[in-house]
Structure 1
Amino acid sequence: MLPTSRIRQLASATLSAALLAGGALLAPAAQAQQADYSQIEADPAIWHLSDADSDVYVFGTFHILPPSLEWLTPEIRDLLASADTLYLEADVHSAESQALLQQLVMQHGLNPQGVTLSSQLSESANAALAELAPTIGFAPAMLEPMRPWLAQVMLAVGQMQALGLDPNSGAETRLLAQVQGTSTQMGYFETPAEQIGFLAGMPDDVQAQAFEQGLEDLAELPQMLELLVTAWAMGDMDVLDREINTSMRDEAPEAYQVMIVGRNENWIPQIAEIMDGEGTVFIAVGAAHLPGEHGVIQLLREAGFEVSRQ
């Protein structure tokens, strides 16, 4: 199963990908052996619920993807073109939100004066960081001003970029490009400040512990990312549920409650309100939020909605 700290890295990918794409964070370029996804015949998962005057499509996204993966199928293009509104987790791509995110990162992602990242880590973790960081394209000194959560995001996304994944190829970025210049309205379930809060709100000692665990996990990230990206592209929600949700629930139940369950539960009344309206809505949220007993699809069914897989 996917280790807990790597879960946090992937769970934070929507925010970190947006930060990188918008320049709020700068990850150095590094190269590693990259998987070839060009031969995958993608069929990502989509669900549908409707009533007399509403059609809502729920699509699970992957926030940072390889450019070689062509996942934007004719079906997705057609559904998106028919949508009156596109709903995402949060507005983290607009110029206004990028400016706000930069402020929030400065406020919540940097250590107080006189505190460094290395001062919060064990001697063995600092040694491991000194060995690992350059292979991803970082000098450890670049990370010293950062709180552990931000340093972990930078290392994780730097590793993903080294493996050929690109924030500008992420699902949300491409969906936004599809509706740019059209009459499609935008809606959001959360704010950028809330998304920063999910990461920065962890106590520093918990962040440091997660960071140290994450150093060990990064070595296995190449194989795990290929598994997860392929599963997402093929719509294999069982793999995503097992490797992300089950692992996180078993190893870090408090984080699972905050990052997955609580957010999913908050989205259900918002989706119910969407259903009370009229028109066609395309909802795109991280794929890990959809499957499983605490997933959005199951929660919608428990709320009385009939939800079918497309």
Structure 2
Amino acid sequence: MTRERRPASSGGRITAALFACLLAACSPSQETQKAHPAMWLAEDEDTRIYLLGTMHALPHYIDWDGGKVAEAVAAAGELIMELSPDELAAAGEEFARLAPRPAPLPIEKRLTPSALAHYRALEAGGPAFEADALDDWAVMVLMGQRVAQRAALTPENGVEAQLTDDFRAAGKPIGGLETARSQLMLFEGLDPETQRALLTRAAEGAAEAVADVRALTAAWSRGDVAALEKVVNEDIDAVPRAREAIITGRNRAWSGWIKRRMAKPGTVMVAVGAGHLVGSEGVPAMLAADGLMVRRVQ
């Protein structure tokens, strides 16, 4: 399997929001740019859990790990991400197992003429996607990776990769909230109509995808949670049946993990996609609604 076929650490989101697990913005400037991503702290008498919103892929010149984030990394005794390093390494094999269709279906029969034209233009930027043999959700993942390639983004420059290096260097444990299979099954388990709607929307927005994600990452860099929430909601509300599987259900599960972890003393860094931490259905809001003390610290 080629490197391009390997999914990023998360299932992704359509256009700006649903590609965010695979992409981040590419700024025209190559000078180092300071970023101040939003971060929250949930705490009680003997437990502190930092919640850092991430971008899984970034250009090399984004400097995001100073200030309060650096303090939280130094204070935390363990790191929890969406996927542990071992699960991330297993994502390619899981994708290869889950992505194929039971029977081929030409991409021309799945997309409208307009969406197909945008899809073909994106595909022209590299090797063919071989979409006829793949499920709709898998085609969308490959499209997201192509956009990342065009924008010169790499997971190696993403937040999770750098946090992993930092915690490993310090000899601190690293865990995950999900498995590679469970993440991909979020899409594999969607009904065919929802998968098709996601794929169609991704194809229709392919021409603007880099610009859209550039705006998303600019909002992330300045910690603009209102702008992040707006992008996430606009995209996911366009396919409302996907919201529970991709956003709300996961946020609820992660909030449950955090509440259980509060029973154990210590300091933890939880780093997950930025879109999961914003709005009334974001993890901080869910925790606060359940009576936990949560405040934004950056």
Contact 1:85 1:184 in 2 (8 A): yes
Q: What displacement does 1:228 show?
A: 0.8
Deviation at 1:174, TM superposition (A): 0.9
Partner Cα distance (1:37, 1:224) in 2: 19
Residue 106 (1) aligns with residue 106 (2): no
Aligned to 1:71: 64
User: Is structure 2 residue 293 aligned with structure 1 residue 302?
Assistant: no
For residues 72-115 of structure 1, give each alpha carbon's deviation from its aligned partner in whole angstroms, at most 9, with x where no partner exists.
21432232122111111122x32x6524x233212210123x51
Distance 1:34 1:79, change over 3 A: closer
Give the direction of change, closer, same or farther, for the CA distance of 1:119–1:217 in structure 2 (3 Å limit).
closer
Contact 1:82 1:280 in 2 (8 A): yes
Deviation at 1:269, TM superposition (A): 1.8
TM, length-normalised to structure 2: 0.86
Q: Which amino acid letter does the alignment assign opposite residue 273 of structure 2?
A: G
Letter in 2 for 1:75: K
CA contact (8 A) 1:117 1:147 kept: no
Relative to structure 1, is the Cα distance of residues 256 and 220 closer, same or farther in structure 2, using a 3 angstrom cutoff?
A: same
Please give the per-residue CA displacement for 1:43-96, whole angstroms capped at 9, x wherever unaligned: 1111112222111111111111111211121432232122111111122x32x6
- Say yes or no: does 1:189 pair with 2:177: yes
1:270-285 residue pairs with structure 2 within 5 A? Answer: 270-285=257-272
| Partner in structure 2 of residue 84 of structure 1 | 77
Q: Is the 8 A contact 2:78 2:167 kept in 1?
A: no
5+ residue gaps, structure 1, are 18-32
Partner of 1:258: 245
Q: Distance in 1 between matches of 2:88 and 2:273?
A: 19
* Separation in structure 1 between the aligned mates of residue 205 and residue 265 of structure 2, nearest angstrom: 46
SS of the residue corresponding to residue 86 of structure 1 reads strand
Q: 1:181 & 1:41 partners in 2: Cα distance?
A: 23
User: Does structure 2 conserve the Cα–Cα contact (< 8 Å) formed by 1:48 and 1:57?
Assistant: yes
Taking the aligned partners of 1:49 and 1:161, their CA distance within structure 2 comes to 36
Shift, 1:8, TM fit: 6.5
Match of 2:234 in 1: 247
Pick one of 150, 157, 163 that aligns with 1:162: 150
Please report how far the alpha carbon of residue 9 of structure 1 lies from its aligned counterpart in structure 2 after TM superposition.
Answer: 3.5
Partner Cα separation in structure 1 for residue 46 and residue 40 of structure 2? 17
Q: Over aligned residues, Cα RMSD in angstroms?
A: 2.4
Instruction: Show CA shifts across 1:178-233 (max 9, x none).
Output: 11132312232212111011121123343233222211201111221111111101
Count of residue pairs the alignment pairs up? 283
Determine whether 1:58 maps to 2:47: no
Which residue number in structure 2 is paired with residue 10 of structure 1?
19
Contact 1:248 1:256 in 2 (8 A): no
Give the match's secondary structure for 1:13. Answer: coil
TM-score (normalised: structure 1): 0.83
